[in-house]
Structure 1
């Protein structure tokens, strides 16, 4: 039994086949970037390690092994032990939780505050723009690490204070990125059309201007996580981070200073490599996202 082919249905099927989803285009371009796959795969692995740390860590990170003080890597302790006999591998695995928590939460906090300030400055201009941008310039006058040290010195050491310190020096950059986009977008034809229709400012900001600023924000957000993890580790290394016994990567490095002079390299090398590869992966992922989301780079 033969079936006649409906030309209307065929044309409709062809039209549906040619419809391209922006999300599909994004993923196709993303997976064609080898650095994106490698860096994204490492970050996904790190997230899984942090999530399943209690099951992956061979030992309790706080329990000492008095029979293996400062022991080098072996079959029982793959990355050795520190001067208190604590398993270095277990402390690094648990430390991934704290380092990722600091990086994600601090950058998210700085991003939210920066987006709000940037939208207000770019959309309303005048004295609001001047007040916000001059405050950002004051923060830009300080090196990021020095600003974080100053904030922690005022608030005191501790995990939450480290998050606040890292968030503070992330705010002005997000504010500047969003402000630059808002200055251009508020004069766009479609925004003017919505404003002429009587839409309130919050609708213009949230539904029409904010979404257009997100690609640049996402790229910088990804890169900033690596910087924040490195900054938090640096604060811990100089004694301004969480309590010394907390298994955080910077704390592990700080505890290894005396052991490095004795030639016990393993306590500093392994957490240092964890920080290095994590920061590198977030930077490479940010570059890949920038290449994928920026139309000018895609068409180049």
Structure 2
């Protein structure tokens, strides 16, 4: 008995015969997994002696170029740049995951309720979300960071507010198109409550595009966190963070100290590129029309 292509799971078929975007998605997935691995195991590597404590600097020479002892060199305070770069992935992932989960947790239910119930509630929420959406994300995050202060959770809250309207708008539009389907009308005719319809019939139909938004927002959140750190509004100074390290490094760049700027900036760039490629590939996987266009 042979299995036809139609019987294969859609993702396996997509992975077996990927388009260019599919191949780039796999590259982005590999890049993202590398950073997740480094962030998760950085404390283990520190205990093994492979990484130095990123908060220790007194015993290190200042502004030493890359050597066998300090692979990425040292900073103006004597920090080991390699250890700071690896541990910076940990802080970035913590803030990014918290920020995107918070915005998704708020935006998805609001979009479903607004699109399904409609009426005055829909108009009020739509006006509120459009008002937030018109503000530049970095400017809004900077303003909120002034209010909530520094810290991983505070930075995540400041960043997450800007992403709520994106989840809301996409889920609301999908809900409006799905709620007119026959099975929704049948459930209403049988007396199903709004909660049952939203949770059982609508949720799994409108949630398909959320992973795409999640990955793209994650990439953007890394840049926003870097901006907050560069302005001194992100994480505490003793927490390794790429944006803050770049701020400290730029002061020495005109004197030829290039390594303290290159490696944190390169790590941030690679992580953003990996998440962006992953998000674009997921977008093609979710939308069959894009797959057909890319195969032509």
- TM-score, normalised to structure 1's length? 0.90
Q: Which residues of 2 match residues 236-255 of structure 1 at below 5 A? A: 236-255=229-248
* Structure 2 unaligned residues grouped into runs of 5+: none
1:19 counterpart (1, 4, 7) = 7
Identify the residue that residue 220 of structure 1 maps to in structure 2.
Answer: 213
Flag the structure with more relative contact order, 1 or 2, with Cα contacts below 8 A and sequence separation at least 6.
Answer: 2
Residue by residue over 1:128-170, the C-alpha shift from the partner in whole angstroms, topping out at 9 and shown as x without a partner, is: 1011111111112211111111111122233221110111001
1:237–1:115: structure 2 CA closer, same or farther, 3 Å change rule? same
CA distance in 2, matches of 1:22, 1:221: 21
| Aligned: 1:149 with 2:139 | no
Question: Which of 250, 261, 269 matches 1:276?
Answer: 269
CA contact 2:92–2:222 (8 Å) conserved in 1:
yes
Tell me the SS of whatever aligns to 2:191: coil
Q: Which residue of 2 aligns with 1:35?
A: 24
| Counterpart secondary structure, 2:195 | helix
Which of 165, 182, 186 is matched with 2:158 structurally? Answer: 165
Question: Once structures 1 and 2 are overlaid, which stretch shifts more, 63-72 or 275-284?
Answer: 63-72
Alpha-carbon spacing, 1:39–1:212, altered in 2? closer, same or farther (3 Å): same
Structure 1: segments with no counterpart, 5+ residues:
1-12
Distance 1:153 1:92 in 2: 26
CA-atom RMSD in angstroms = 1.9
CA drift of 1:38 comes to: 1.0
Shift of 1:204: 1.2
Shift, 1:124, TM fit? 0.4
- Distance change (3 Å), C-alpha of 1:248 and 1:84: same
Q: Which one of 55, 59, 70 corresponds to residue 63 of structure 2?
A: 70
Partners of 1:19 and 1:34 lie apart in 2 by 23
1:187 Cα deviation from its structure 2 partner: 0.5
Displacement of 1:220: 0.9
The Cα shift of 1:60 comes to 1.0
Give the TM-score, by structure 2 length: 0.92
Tell me, in whole angstroms, the C-alpha distance in 2 between the residues paired with 1:173 and 1:137: 10
Q: For the Cα contact (< 8 Å) 1:78–1:89, is it kept in 2? A: yes
Q: Secondary structure of 1:170's match?
A: helix
- Alpha carbons of structure 1 residues 40 and 30: separation in structure 2 relative to 1, 3 Å: farther
**How much has 1:18 moved relative to structure 2?**
6.2
